[in-house]
Amino acid sequence: MIYRLFTIVFLILFNFAFSEVYIPKTIAEKEEFSKLQKEKVVIGLINDPFYNLSYPKVKSLNDTVIDFFKNYLQLDVSFKIISYKNLKEEVMSGTVDGVALIPKNQCFNDTLLFSDSIFSEELFVISQTDPINSLDDLNNKTIYTSYMMSYSNILNAVLDNNDLSSHMIPVDSLSSYDDKLILTTNPVLYKPNYGVKIGNSSGVTIALSYKFKEILPFINNALKYGYRDVFLKNLNTLNRTISYNNFYTSLTPEEKKYLETLPPIKVAYENKTDSLVSYKSQIDGKYKGIAPNLLKILKNNLYIDFIDITNNESKTPSNLENNEFDTMVLSKTQTRSKNFIFSKKIYEIGTYVINLDSSPSSLRTIGVLKNNVEEHLARRYDVESNIIVFDDLESMINALNNGEVGNLLVTNKEDFDSNKYNIIPFETIPVNFMFNKDNIILKNIINKAFTHSINLKKLAEQSQLERETENKIINLRDKEVNKLLLMFSILFGFIIVTISTYLYKERLNKKSLLKDSLTDLPNRFIFDKFCSEENSLTGSTFVVDLNNFKNINDSLGHEFGDVILKEFATFLKNTFIDSHIFRISGDEFYGFSFDNQEQIIEKLKKYKEFCPTLLKYNITFNLGISHKSSNITLATSFRYSDLAMLETKKEKNKFFKIADDDFIKKMDRESSLLSLLKEDIRGIYALFQPKYCIKNNKIIGAESLARYSSLELGPIGPFEFIPIAEKYNFIHKVDYKIAKESIVFVKELLESGASLNNFRISFNISMKTFKRNDLISIISGLLNYFKVPGKYIEIEITESIFVLDMKDLINKLKALKALGIQISLDDFTAGHSTAGLLPLLPIDIVKFDKSLLDSLEINQEKGMIVYKNLISLIKDLNFKIVSEGVETKEQLEFLEFLNVDYVQGYYFSKPISKEEFTMEVRNL
C-alpha cells in the first residue's frame, strides 16, 4: 500500500516537473481545468525594459509568461502590452483580466488576486554622477521612478524610518533620466557608477481579477511543481547575459583580443590565513570565502575560468613573481606596490592589537608574522627597534605569554581567548587580487569584471552566511563527540568558571590601574571609573583642548606631536598636584580640581613658562570650566565643561568659558530641542501671514512662516529653533519642509477653485540652504511633482546671503526665476548694506524690515526722510516694495502716502493656519 502511494505521488511530481503541459492531479481538477481552458482571458504584460529584454537564445521574461499561459497551461489567453503609468486604469476599467509579473500591491487588493511569488526583486537607487553610497546621501534629493507605486512606497517607508525625505517624480522611461537619481529593480540596465540598496519588493507575481479567481490555484500549482524554476532559470540567464554584454562592451580591442586566448587563470590563496576572504573548509578541504565565491561568479557570468593551485606549501609573492601562478589574494602595501599591481579592493579585514593584562606599560614591543601585511602596518606606525618578526603564529603567541613581547598585531582575533587577552581593534586592511606588473591587461579585465558583475557587499553577506552554516555543521558533528565528555567536564568546568570569575575580577582591578602609555596620565578607562565612583566630590571640572596640534602632527610627524603632548601633560601634572588629570584622547585633557574656577584659569595661563615647545610652534588651547556641586554627577559636570570649551572655539574672543547657570540652562534647553528636532522634524509646520495690496486692501498672497510644536515642550518660537537648525546643519530640512507645505497649499487652493490672479505664496530659503547643490532640483522637483506653476511662488532671501559666492548666487537665482518663481529680498536694511548690489541681482521685490517703521517712533522726521529716499531708490530700479510690520493705522496711511505696493503686519492679520487663510481667500 505504501509502495503504491509513493509511486502515485512520484508520478504526479514527475508530471509536474517534466511535462511540457500542465496535468491536473485528479479527475475533478481535470474537469474544472478543462472548463477554464475555454474561457477567454486578457493578460496585461508590463512594458518594462527589463521584462522585454531578450538576446539570441535567451527569451525575455514576457515571452516566458506567454509560453507559460499558452503552451504550458494551454489557456485561451490574449496579451496586451501596458505601461506602469496606465496599469491602474487598465485594471480598473476591466480591459485586462490580469497582469503578469507585477509585485504585490495593496492598491489592487480590491480588484486583483495575486499568485504565489515567482521571484523576488531588490530595489536600488542608482546614479551615473551623484556619489550616493548610503541612505543618508538620498536626503532631500530628487529621485525619478517608474509609475509602479509599490516601489515608491517601499522607498518612502525606508526613508521615513531613517528620518530622511526625498522627492520622487514618476516618469514613463527611466532610461531618459539615467544621468539623474533613479529607483530601479534592475541597475544592471543602466551601468551606474554609484548606488545604494533600498530593500526588497514583496515578490513578483501573476495577478488575476476576481472573475477568474478559479485559475489561480492552477497557476500556483504549476509554479510550485516546476515552472517557477523555468522563470528563475530564464531570469538568471538574462542577468548573466546582461552582465556579460556590459562587461564585454567595456573592454578595449586589446583586452578583447587578450580575453579570446586567455587560458584558465591560476590563483593562489594564503594557506595560513583563516578569514572571510578565504579559508580552507574543514568539511571538503576546498577554499571558500569571498575571493573563491567572487571567482565563481566571474566564471558563471563572464566565462572567465580560474584554477585554484593552492596546496599545503606556502605561496608567497616570490612565487607569483616567478610566474608560478597568475594572481594571489593579498593586501596592497607600499613594498608590494613596487613590484606588483593590484585590482580594486574586494574586502576589508580588521587588524587587532593583542596583549596581556599583566603586560607592563613600558613594554611597547610588537610582534608580527613575517611577510604578512601586519608587518608592513607595524612599520608604518612604529620604529624598527620595537618590531619583532616571527615565522609562525605559535611561537609568536608563546613569546607574548612569556613576556618576551608586549603586543601582537594580528588579523584573526579568533585565535585569542578574550578572557585571557586584551583584544583591541586597530585598523582595517583592504584586500585585493595581486598581479605581476606585466599583467596589467589581466588586472584591467578583472577590475571591469568586478564593476559589471559583482555586488561586493552582497557577496560578503552570502559568504558570511555560508561560513556560519559550515560552522553550525561542524558544531553539530562535534556535538556527538562532546556529549560523551560533557558529564566528565561539568565538575571541572564549575571549578574553572569559579577561578576564571575570580581572575576576571582581578584583571578588571588591574586594568583600572593602567595609564596612558605616552603621557603616563590616567586614561579614559580610569576616567570613566572615577566619574562613576567619585560623584560625591565638589570642586571644579575642566576640559582643555590644544589648538593647531593636528597641523603640527601632520607637518612634523607623530613623534614630534608626542613630544608636545608629553610636555603639556607634564605641565598639567606639576601644576595640579592635588587634582585628577586625565588624557582622554588625542590632544584633549580632562581635569577635576578642588581649586575654584579663577585659580584654574590663572594656573593654566602659566603654560608659557613651562611649555617652550608649545610657545615656539604657536600651540594654544581652549578651556571650559564648570562647578561640580554635590547635586550633579561628575559626568554631567564634565559635559558642561566640554560644551563650554567648544563654545570658546566658536566665539574666539577669549580662550576660556565658565559654564555658569545661564550657560547650563541654555545648553540643556538647546540639547532638549536638538533631540526633539532630530527625532521628529514633522513637528515643523507653516503658518501663513497674509500680504495685502495697499491700493485695494485685497490679499495678494502670504508669507509661510515656520513654527514648531512638540508634545514634550509645547510651542517653540522660530527665534529659538531656527538658530539650532542652522547651528547643527539641518536648516535645509526646515526650509524644504516649509517649501513643500507652501507648494502643496497652493495646489489645494487651485483645486478648491479659489481665484489666484497675481497671487503668490512666499517662503524663506536660508544662506546655508542656498549653498547646497540640490536647491534647484528640490524646488523644481516639488513644483513638477505637485503640478504647481512657479508663478504662484515667491522665494525670500535675506541680505546675509550675499556673503556667498556672487556668481553661484546669481546663477541659482536665475535658475529659480526660469521656473517662473519671483525673488524677494527680505529684511532690507536690517543689518547689511546691500544697496550697491541691487542693480546686479535678478530680484523682483524688496521687503522693508519692520525696524524701518519702528525708527519713526524714535525720530519721526529723520525716519520719514530715510524711508522716503529708500522707496524712491527701489522704485527707480523697478522693484516692487513690501513693508513688513505694519501695526497701526498711522503707519498704513504713511505707507499709502509714499505709494508702497504691498503691506503685511498685525494691523491686518497675525500668521494664521492654512484653513483660516483659505477662508480669507474665498471671501475675496
Cα separations (Å) of 322 from 252, 265, 319, 434, 446? 28, 15, 5, 14, 21
Q: Is the dihedral of CA 147, 151, 154, 156 positive or negative?
A: negative
- pLDDT confidence of residue 18: 43
Residue 45 in this model has a pLDDT that exceeds 90:
yes
Identify the top-confidence range among 76-85, 125-134, 458-467, 826-835: 76-85
| Digit-coded pLDDT (tens) for 834-867 | 566 677 788 899 988 888 887 777 777 777 888 8
Q: Which of 309, 221, 320, 240 is nearest to 271 (CA)?
A: 309
Reading the block at residue 200, the C-alpha cell is 526588497
Mean residue pLDDT across the chain: 83
pLDDT of 11 > 50? The answer is: no
CB atoms within 10 A of CB 138: 23
Q: What is the per-residue pLDDT for 488?
A: 54
Q: What is the pLDDT of residues 600-647, one digit of tens each?
A: 999 999 998 889 988 888 888 999 999 998 888 998 899 899 889 988
Mean pLDDT of all residues in 478-493: 59
Instruction: Give the pLDDT confidence score for residue 591 in this predicted structure.
Output: 94
792 confidence band (pLDDT: 50, 70, 90): very high
* Of 293, 265, 266, 264, the residue nearest 277 (C-alpha): 293
Q: What pLDDT digit, counting tens, does each position of 640-655 carry? A: 998 899 888 877 778 8
Of 5-14, 278-287, 386-395, 752-761, the poorest mean pLDDT is in 5-14
Upper half-sphere CA count for residue 496 (Cβ side, 13 Å): 6
Q: Tell whether the model's pLDDT for residue 529 goes beyond 90.
A: no
pLDDT band at 745 (very low <50, low <70, confident <90, very high): very high
- Report CA Rg, the chain: 36
Mean pLDDT of 88-97: 90
Q: How confident is the model at residue 114 (pLDDT cuts 50, 70, 90)?
A: very high
**Mean pLDDT value of segment 861-884:** 85
Highest mean pLDDT among 402-411, 412-421, 827-836: 402-411
Grade residue 803 by pLDDT with cuts at 50, 70 and 90: low
Q: Which pLDDT tens digit goes with each residue over 587-596?
A: 889 999 999 9
What proportion of the chain, given as a percentage, has pLDDT over 70? 90
pLDDT at 42: 95
Are 174 and 212 in contact by the 8 Å Cβ rule? The answer is no
The per-residue pLDDT for 500 is 57
In angstroms, the CA 385 to CA 737 distance is: 60
The three-state DSSP-derived secondary structure of 405-425 is: CCEEEECCHHHCCCCCEEEEE
Banded model confidence at residue 218, pLDDT cuts 50, 70, 90: very high
Distance CA(919)–CA(924), nearest Å, equals 9
> What is the pairing mode between strands 539-546 and 621-628?
antiparallel
Q: Is the pLDDT score of 83 beyond 80?
A: yes
For residues 421-445, average pLDDT = 85
Helices (H), 652-787: 661-679, 718-727, 731-751, 767-770, 775-786
Q: Taking 90 as the threshold, does the pLDDT of residue 540 lie above it?
A: yes
Question: Residue 299 above 50 pLDDT?
Answer: yes
Residue type, 762: S
pLDDT band at 12 (very low <50, low <70, confident <90, very high): very low
Highest mean pLDDT among 34-38, 102-106, 425-429: 34-38
Instruction: For residue 183, give the 3-state DSSP assignment.
Output: strand
DSSP secondary structure string, 592-622? EESS-HHHHHHHHHTHHHH-HHHHHTT--EE
* Residue 485 pLDDT exceeds 80: no
Q: Give the pLDDT confidence score for residue 507 in this predicted structure.
A: 53
Q: Which residue, 842, 786, 795, is CA-closest to 814?
A: 842
Is residue 494's pLDDT more than 70?
A: no
User: What are the pLDDT digits (tens) for 161-211?
Assistant: 788 889 999 998 888 888 899 999 888 888 888 888 888 877 899 999 999
In this structure, of 38-47, 340-349, 359-368, the range with the lowest mean pLDDT score is 359-368
| Per-residue pLDDT at 88 exceeds 80 | yes
Output the CA–CA distances (angstroms, integers) from residue 578 to 206, 517, 595, 636, in the order listed.
78, 21, 9, 22
Cβ-defined contacts of 771-777 (< 8 Å, 24+): 771/804, 772/140, 772/732, 774/140, 774/141, 774/142, 775/812, 776/812, 776/815, 776/816, 777/141, 777/142
pLDDT of residue 572: 93
**Range ranked top by mean pLDDT from 73-82, 105-114, 472-481:** 73-82
Strands 167-170 and 287-288: unpaired
708-735 average pLDDT score: 82
| Mean pLDDT computed over 224-240 | 88
The helix (run of H) or strand (run of E) holding residue 247 is helix 228-250
Tell me the range of 265-279, 398-412, 490-504 where mean pLDDT is highest: 398-412
Cα(647)–Cα(658) distance, rounded to whole angstroms?
10
- What is the average pLDDT across 556-563? 84
